[in-house]
Amino acid sequence: MSLYVMKFGGSSVGDTERMKRVAGRVVEKADEGHQCVVVVSAMGDTTDDLIDQAKQLNSELPAREMDMLLTTGEQISISLLSMAIQALGRKAISFTGWQAGFRTESVHGKARINDIHPERVNQALAEGNIVIVAGFQGMTEDGEITTLGRGGSDTTAVALAAAIKADACEIYTDVDGIYSTDPRIVKVARKLKEISYDEMLELANLGAAVLHPRAVEYAKHSGVPLIVRSSFNHNEGTVVKEEATMEQGVVVSGIAYDKNVARISILGVPDVPGVLAEVFGALASEQLDVDIIVQSGVMDGKADFSFSVALSDRENALRVIEALHSRLPYREVTSEENLVKVSIVGAGMVSHPGVAAKMFKVISGEGVSIKMVSTSEIKVSCVIDGEKLHDVIKALHTAYDLDTAEQAVIGGPQVRR
């Protein structure tokens, strides 16, 4: 008997019919002789709907009360799924994140998991139950409810799999694996049979929405086998593991994009030691993450530099920079929106010169200017205007020989074996 953690996202449990389909899928796994722990997200657009309702009442959105509100979405899912499984003749029990033993740091909205005490989960399994656990949530040591941030149900699933020593963690979604790029943009995207933790972590951090970055970090750190597959069919999924076999001739494994990008430029800054430390230290103290940093040449003792932040952090970042003006006499601050970051990722890039040059050539061939560039051993990222994003992605996908003759599988009816 093997022990599986199965995670289903909001689209997989978006309505009662889909909930029944998930229940059937879980019971199928149990009927094969496996123990099952199921982690679920809130149904469909529940989280967005709750946020919209909160905004109608209070524009400030108090962090503690938002956690109290948003965790109810997953509680609805776990109870309904438990009922659906029981209706199929199987024992099932649902637990909130804190009932399942998740202890987090005292940060509302994006808490990290400090520890997991899964005794109740293990006891329920020993009693023959299918265990349903709410993703995305936990509790502090002093009893405050917290959430793990968007995508936190992935993290819940992987962390729980590590804590209960599961044989594998399966992430079920509306696509049947990890593709070389977003199959909604490139219909002939290549489904990857396997991918390394490092490549997947880069893709997740760079905008690929199929897995949450913290979930991949947990999997890599704990060695949890991670499988991404469809909740709508039984197609073979993608395995995320320590070392993946590189397909012959494929240097770039995937292409990711992130629309949540803004560029801020500080012009006419004194070229003296400590300026960058002052600026980015102030941003860090406000929990604002900076991505790409570019400094231009010095003229008349003054320098210009730019950096990218999440579009959602743009206003806060500008506020921090403006507060520095009294002790950092810059000439001007500008910002740009409507930008995207396009990235190529591949473990084979380190031993193949010219990969970045090809990317720059392809982007320029689409008539698009590159505003910022960032590189590492296994990725190249370019910040560009967002108007021709789809054209750029399709051109890059073709240029790196990632197109296939098969159509990507997205959603669809349940396919029985």
Quick one: pLDDT at residue 247? 60
Distance CA 322, CA 335 (A): 12
* Length of the chain counted residue by residue: 417
Asked if residue 232 lies in contact with residue 412, where contact means CB atoms within 8 angstroms, the answer is yes
Per residue, the 3-state secondary structure of 126-164, as one string, reads HCCCEEEEECCEEECCCCCEEECCCCHHHHHHHHHHHHC
At 412, the pLDDT band (50, 70, 90 cuts) reads low
Quick one: pLDDT at residue 415? 33
DSSP string of 244-267, one letter each residue: -PPPTT----EEEEEEEEEEEEEE
Residue 276, SS3? Answer: helix
Sheet of 113-116: strands edge to edge?
A: 113-116, 102-104, 137-139, 145-147
**Run of H or E residues at 38:** strand 35-40
Distances 321 to 36, 273, 296, 325, 328 between C-alpha atoms, Å: 50, 18, 18, 7, 9
Each residue of 318-373: pLDDT tens digit? 999 999 998 888 999 999 999 999 999 998 887 788 999 999 999 999 999 999 99
At 416, the pLDDT band (50, 70, 90 cuts) reads very low
Q: Are strands 302-310 and 290-299 parallel, antiparallel or unpaired?
A: antiparallel
Quick one: pLDDT at residue 246? 59
Distance CA 282, CA 311 (A): 18
Quick one: pLDDT at residue 231? 85
Distances 247 to 90, 193, 255 between C-alpha atoms, Å: 42, 10, 16
Each residue of 227-272: pLDDT tens digit? 999 888 888 999 998 876 656 557 899 999 999 999 999 999 988 8
Asked if residue 253 lies in contact with residue 347, where contact means CB atoms within 8 angstroms, the answer is yes
At 401, the pLDDT band (50, 70, 90 cuts) reads very high
pLDDT at residue 409 greater than cutoff 80: no
Q: Are strands 238-241 and 194-196 parallel, antiparallel or unpaired?
A: parallel
Each residue of 297-318: pLDDT tens digit? 778 889 999 999 999 999 999 9
Least Cα distance to 213 among 131, 137, 262, 158 occurs for: 158
Percent residues over pLDDT 70 in the chain: 97
Each residue of 364-388: pLDDT tens digit? 999 999 999 999 989 999 999 999 9
Per-residue pLDDT, averaged over 60-77, amounts to 96
Distance CA 351, CA 348 (A): 6
Distance CA 391, CA 410 (A): 21
Long-range contacts of 353-359 (CB under 8 A, 24+ apart): 355/251, 355/252, 355/380, 356/380, 358/399, 358/400, 359/396, 359/399
Quick one: pLDDT at residue 249? 59
Each residue of 135-156: pLDDT tens digit? 999 999 999 999 998 778 999 9
Quick one: pLDDT at residue 11? 86
Quick one: pLDDT at residue 374? 93
Quick one: pLDDT at residue 244? 66
Bridge partners, residue 8, by sequence = 40, 172
Summary mean pLDDT of the chain: 92
Pick the more confident residue, 174 or 182. Answer: 182
Distance CA 238, CA 151 (A): 19
| Cβ-Cβ contacts under 8 Å for 343 (sequence gap 6 or more) | 202, 203, 206, 207, 255, 256, 257, 258, 379, 380, 381, 382
